[in-house]
Amino acid sequence: MIKPRTYIIILLLVIAGLYYWHSMSAPGKFNLSAHLQKYNTLKTQITHQRDSLRNTYKQASKIERQALVKHSQSYLQTSLGQKIFPYWYGTRWSYSGTTSNPRKGKIACGYFVTTTLQHAGFKLNRYYLAQQAASVIIKRLCKKNSIKTIGNNDAEKLITYLRKQPDGIYILGLDTHVGFIEKRQGKLDFIHSSYSSKRRVVREPAINSNVISNSSIYVVGNLLANEKLVKYWLLKKKV
């Protein structure tokens, strides 16, 4: 007959074993502190790279400056699309969200656009710009001849138009929403702080986005095709 004390010891060992097995098999817990530290490191790296490019730009010839602007356009697309945006995926959406820390707090669609651009090194007032209509944001940041307006809830026409455009980062304004389109190697993704059922920052194929298909109007502009804006980034001038 097993003594009560022995029974308790065996039971505790079984519980401890089950807890250990669960902890080893369960997915790792998200480390917010480490996430933010890595994000701050990324922002510092982008700042250092921009400063290095700026110093080179100031001493460069006209032809060399044109090449540096082109290089900066490519660098900014990679920095935004492949580095900054991913840190924000999963950050919760709120109509009044203004967080500047990815995955901590909540962020509205306009603030997602202006905050990520600020963190990429653009000198702008993220509060003021985020509170403007999407069309105002686009006109402020994008070159006039790159801006296209499409009405009548014609999402198919929007996708067709974007497929004909060069790779890059675009700002897309909808009825009451704004976000980014990244075109990379022909693929179109919509990156935005979604107010839909997901209610968080997401990256999704533009063609499958309910938020896009439900809008009655579209205003889209090519952000990085604006050489003046890229030069302002290089020279740390206020946008």
Within a domain: 104 = yes
Phi, psi (deg, nearest 5) at residue 29: -75, 140
Q: Is residue 44 part of a domain?
A: yes
Closest CA to 110 of 91, 133, 87, 90: 133
Residue 100 lies in a domain: yes
Report the pLDDT value the prediction gives residue 4, as an integer from 0 to 100. 54
Q: What's the whole-number mean pLDDT along residues 33-40?
A: 99
Residue 166 lies in a domain: yes
Inside any domain, residue 19: no
Alpha-carbon 106 to chain mean position: 14
**Mean of the pLDDT values across residues 61-83?**
98
Q: What is the pLDDT of residue 198?
A: 87
pLDDT of residue 22: 42
Within a domain: 24: no
Domain count, the chain: 1
pLDDT tens for 220-234 read 999 999 999 999 999
Tell me the pTM: 0.88
125 in any annotated domain? yes
Tokens of 218: 């579209």
Torsion of Cα atoms, 82 then 109 then 147 then 204, to 10°: 50
Please give, one letter per residue, the 3-state secondary structure of the chain: CCCHHHHHHHHHHHHHHHHHHHHHHCCCCCCHHHHHHHHHHHHHHHHHHHHHHHHHHHCCCHHHHHHHHHHHHHHHHHHHHHHHHHHHCCCEECCCCECCCCCCCEECHHHHHHHHHHHCCCECCHHHHHCCCHHHHHHHHCCHHHCEEECCCCHHHHHHHHHCCCCEEEEEECCCCEEEEEEECCEEEEEEECCCCCCEEEEEEHHHCHHHHCCCCEEEEECCCCHHHHHHHHHCCEC
Residue 31 amino acid letter: N
CATH for 106 = 3.90.1720.10
pLDDT in tens, 92-117: 999 999 999 999 999 999 999 999 99
Task: Find the domain containing 60 and state its range.
Answer: 32-235
Task: Inform me whether the pLDDT recorded for 15 exceeds 90.
Answer: no
Residue 128 placed within a domain? yes
